[in-house]
Amino acid sequence: MKEKGYAGLDYFRLIAALLIVSIHTFPLISVSQEADFIFTHIIARVAVPFFLMVTGFFLIPELLKGKDGHKGFNALGGFLKKTSLLYGVAILIYLPVNIYTGTFKDKLSVTGIFKAVVFEGTFYHLWYLPASILGALIVSLLFTKFSHKLVLGLTLFLYLIALLGDSYYGLTEQVSYLKGFYDILFMLFDYTRNGLFMTPVFLALGGLIALSGKKYTIKTCLTGFAAATALLLTEGSILHTHQLQRHDSMYLMLLPCMFFLFHLLLNWRGKARNILRSFSMLIYIVHPMCIILVRGFAKAVHLTGLIIDNSIVHFITVTAASIVVSAFVLLVFYKKDKDVKKDRAWAEIDLNNLDCNINEFKTILPKSCNIMAVVKANAYGHGDIEIAGELNKTGINAFAVATIEEGIRLRKNGISGEILILGYTFPEQLYKLKQYDLTQTVVDLDYAEILNVANRRTKVHVKIDTGMHRLGENYNDIFNLYKIYECKNLIVTGTYTHLSVSDSLEQQDVDFTNLQIDMFYKTLENIREAGYNPGKIHLQSSYGVLNYPYLKCDFARIGIALYGVLSSENHKTRICVDLQPVLSIKARVVLTKEITKNESVGYGRQFTADRKTRIAVISIGYADGIPRTLSCGKGHVLIHGKKAAIIGKICMDQLMVDITDIAEVRQGDIATLIGRDGTESVSAEEAAAHSGTLTNEFLSRLGLRVTRNYINNACCTNKSRFAINLKNSLTSFKFSIKSSQLFSIIRE
């Protein structure tokens, strides 16, 4: 789940947990019994099937991948172990309540203990845990023995048996032999809502959705879900009106309803939220205890009429208490998913600094000019999905990438807003532009004609070459530009150019930049006078903003400066902004040793000690993106707040540094290649300059072996980081609803 980022499933976990709270608190009962029945006994019944389908979705494919070996067994074993442990802890939590209420007195027989532990749960809401264990065992056995269609058929048959003992029992008891059959069943358990009859079909359904890989459009999912929900409400209301229900956990239309709901949530892709998984499960476990506490508190302070008798207030109070208790438990026991101490080399990405940089640029840009964040090349090595996701939260809804693959990657991970492809997309891939709602750059008239004959409407930005002489139709070829705007299948939403020397304040470069600016605006004027709409205008990149902030544009394409650094430490700009570096690079000391005078280090014996020397081997090399040109003293790292020169040639996976003058360096210590350690610092601009390149190249080369650890404050503790992550998860929930994937329904 971490890899694919099923954000919709994570967020709906929280909704499902709150629906279960509503089932046990009847939030509308004091308003309308009918309304409460519809909400808590029909609509809220999607919660448990959802949890079961999520389990099947991730468990079954893993099971089948390793059915001829140990992997499948390990996947099933891990699930059973985890759920059994959770069940055991939950039993201990509610043991005092059961003793106090005398519940165990009726369950101390062998049959009673068996029913409680295997089917019923030792407290009323805990039935789900043994049910998921038993259901997982049954479904796993079926999948390893039978075809997928037969598994679905068998589990549907079990579900039909469950229905006749649940919502349709009023029909069953009218048939004597059926009633006799269920009388026997009810000696083993009180409800057919259990792991033998109910859970297998939803576990199987989740697994089959994962195995098929079939995707449905959001419009199809919404239509199917709406129709199934309407039929579900009708079914539940009819059964309730005719008093046919022995219990109300299961309905026939719950199956198609869950099918379309689950597919709808799968369309909502984005960053996985591990915290919400634990958070929702905790709410599920603790909410009955919170019901008891709220009721006790209300009686103690004589507020029963307000807190208990008013069902809405009661639901809100219990929900709030459950959230607070669950958050407290997570706060106490929370651990980061990734312990950086286990990483050989990692980059720390400070999202706080990213937000600060955004605010800095907003203060110098005209109010009418929005930021188009350039996140190509994996956001200059910072991680495109995480960076774009954070920017979405801050209100940035325009992004620029270099390739269609980069754009698709953003879309698949839930990034909303306009995504402009700055580079060339080959004709064979053009159909993906509409599929993923991407905007293509028109690089010249010939390319416009290729796009135009593709028999699909394509959103584009027209690139005008004003002197860069890379991509774009030349501003002198005005009639060619007119022809581009006349292409019927092109939806021109923007026009732009690129300033080639806006980073320089040398007079000749300033003159050339001003010439480019003049040519661009004159060309736009000609385009408008000819009756064409150029759409949104943009020509500034990072240096264009810092040296020419007054230009009237709709967008400013900010790239390298967004990440708190400039392309070169020698570049001066007209506007001074307080940029904060977003990225730092660190690695581990894996070995220290001492060499004598005249001994050499590394490949080619490029370093020879002129004294007794202590060296440290650092677990990062040129395969991780550290330029080999920093070898032999041109670069250095920070250890214990002091500089240690790189000696010898940088290797593929390691580099060596001189630590003779740094005391007590040990295996496992942190070496900072980019960033601050104490009073010393190494900037990306400095490292790039010493390696003979630009900061852009230096950061973009950062390898995938370097783990990215995202933090909101470099000084955060684990506990405060949990609070931030939880807040971000809930905030992201709000922003994700606005994603272009959901809005595509309107466009269609």
Residue type, 602: G
* Distance in angstroms (rounded) separating the CA atoms of residues 76 and 81: 9
Contacting residues for 21 by C-beta, under 8 A, at least 6 apart: 283, 287, 315, 318, 319, 322
Asked whether 481 and 449 are in contact (CB, 8 A), the reply is no
Q: Given 124, 424, 431, 603, which residue is catalytic?
A: 603
Parallel, antiparallel or unpaired: strands 607-608 and 600-601: antiparallel
Asked whether 593 and 387 are in contact (CB, 8 A), the reply is no
| 3-class DSSP assignment, residue 9 | helix
Two tokens, residue 495: 């026009």
| 3-class DSSP assignment, residue 347 | strand
Asked whether 148 and 139 are in contact (CB, 8 A), the reply is no
| 3-class DSSP assignment, residue 330 | helix
Q: Given 271, 376, 586, 649, which residue is catalytic?
A: 376
* Distance in angstroms (rounded) separating the CA atoms of residues 181 and 674: 72
| Letter string b/e over residues 464-488, b meaning 16 or more CB atoms within 10 A of that residue's CB | bbbbeeebbbbbeebeebeebbebe
CA distances 738 to 226, 386, 395, 728, Å, are 20, 18, 11, 16
Q: For 455, left (φ over 0), alpha (ψ -120 to 50), or beta?
A: left
Contacting residues for 101 by C-beta, under 8 A, at least 6 apart: none
Residue type, 205: L
Q: What is the DSSP string of 255-290?
A: HHHHHHHHHHHHT------HHHHHHHHHHHHHHHHH
> Is 376 assigned a catalytic role?
yes
Asked whether 308 and 293 are in contact (CB, 8 A), the reply is no
Residue 588: which of 634, 548, 620, 635 has the closest Cα? 620
Radius of gyration of the chain (CA): 31
CA distances 324 to 93, 329, 568, 728, Å, are 17, 9, 49, 17
Strand locations in 356-481 (E): 370-374, 398-401, 418-421, 439-442, 458-465, 473-474
> Is 603 assigned a catalytic role?
yes
Run of H or E including 729: helix 718-737
Run of H or E including 583: strand 583-595
CA distances 609 to 596, 612, 615, 648, Å, are 7, 7, 10, 10
Instruction: Tell the burial category of 170 from Cβ atoms under 10 Å away from its Cβ (0-12, 13-18, 19+).
Output: middle
Contacting residues for 630 by C-beta, under 8 A, at least 6 apart: 646, 650, 687, 690, 691
Alpha-carbon 431 to chain mean position: 26
Contacting residues for 213 by C-beta, under 8 A, at least 6 apart: none
| 3-class DSSP assignment, residue 205 | helix
Instruction: Tell the burial category of 151 from Cβ atoms under 10 Å away from its Cβ (0-12, 13-18, 19+).
Output: buried
Asked whether 671 and 626 are in contact (CB, 8 A), the reply is no
Active site residues per annotation: 376, 603
